[in-house]
Amino acid sequence: MKKVFLFLFVTLLTTSAFAQVNEAIAYRDQGFLDKAKVSIDKAIVNPKQNVKAKTWIARATIYNAMAGSPLPAYSKLDSNAIVVAYESYMKAIEVEPESKEVKKAKEDANKLLVNVAYNKFQRHDYPASLKYCQEAITVNAKDTTAALIAAYSSQNIKKYSDAASYYEKYLENGGKGGEEMYLSIIQLYKVDKDYDKALAAANKAMAKYPKNEELRKEEIDIYIGSGKSDDAISKMEAAVQRDPKNLVFNQNLAILYDRKKEYDKASVFYEKALELDPNSFEMNYNMGVLWFNKGAELSMKVNEESKKLKAGQVHPKTKEMDGYFSKSLPYFEKANQIKPNELDVLTNLSKLYRILKRPEDEKKINKLIEGAN
């Protein structure tokens, strides 16, 4: 009889020790999250209950339910509920690491990591947000949401190269953003003067989007900004020899030579690029500018030296000068067909028609310029 009494007494003690936890779980299961919160908050300060994994796991599930509740009365009980849920799972693992419940607690905690990171991001705690994102990525390397939040957080604490790396990870794992995001990645690497990574990102982007003019400009700017334009030219020339019909290689080589003011070489590769893509606005425009600038440079010399000539004499370089302007014209006209009424193109056409003594065409263009303004 005494043994039975002792057994019942132990059972009652055990039940009593977990009374608040059991009460909290019951309220949770019935959907009364406000009451569940009151009970579990009492339980975690009870020295008999707060050393057990069960207590902390119950708290984690209650706070997680609050965070995800569609009812404002519950979701607003604690704006930090998702973080409390995660920390409660981690506390469960700490107090009873060998408990049979711990394995599931770890799995459930890992599922909350991205939500915790987002909560920290919303609160502008970017270092903490980044920390939780990194943990989430360790658990699931393919998590696009974690990578994206990590990129935003890194950017906000001015870790630009890290932000770019996370954006790349996001894209690699199937995230959306495409050309615009690649432009952001390249620019972030450039801010930190991490030109090698910027160039690698630009090369990767150009392989996917070979006709994107902004990406190509960035690629060229990286070569020049990093002082590698000569190396770039050598590599591009070798690449063109291997693959002479590669549009991007020819375009890049043309622009590199143009930037170095080696206009004759630039014109060769602009022509090759235009053979491959006659409707490239950028290549037509650049070719027009190239010949126009050569004409303008010679024009300065002709005008200055013409002051010393006798009346009626024509400078011997006049024909060559006009030839450059004449060469420039069809490229600007083509550029205007591809993108009608671009102000820069119209302005150059107006100048050319005036230089080449075509007043009617000049008037037409000037009307278009007035309309554009």
- Is 99 a member of any domain? yes
188, two tokens? 């972030």
How far apart, in Å, are the Cα atoms of 307 and each of 266, 310, 311, 320? 33, 8, 9, 18
Rounded to whole angstroms, what are the CA distances from 146 to 30, 200, 226, 330? 33, 23, 32, 52
Q: Judge whether 153 lies within some domain.
A: no
pLDDT interval class at 4 (50, 70, 90) = very low
Q: What is the mean pLDDT of the chain?
A: 87
- For residues 350 and 362, what is the distance between their CA atoms, to the nearest angstrom? 5
pLDDT tens column, 334-347: 999 999 989 999 99
Percent of the chain at pLDDT exceeding 70 = 93
How many structural domains does the chain have? 1
Residue 297 located in a structural domain = no
Q: List the CATH number of the domain containing 97.
A: 1.25.40.10
Q: In this structure, is residue 91 part of a structural domain?
A: yes
177 lies in some domain? no
pTM equals 0.63
Domain membership of residue 117 (yes or no) is no
| Position 369 in a domain | no
Average pLDDT on 217-244 reads 82
Q: Which domain holds residue 102?
A: 14-112
Within-domain flag for 44: yes
CA 46 to chain centre: 49
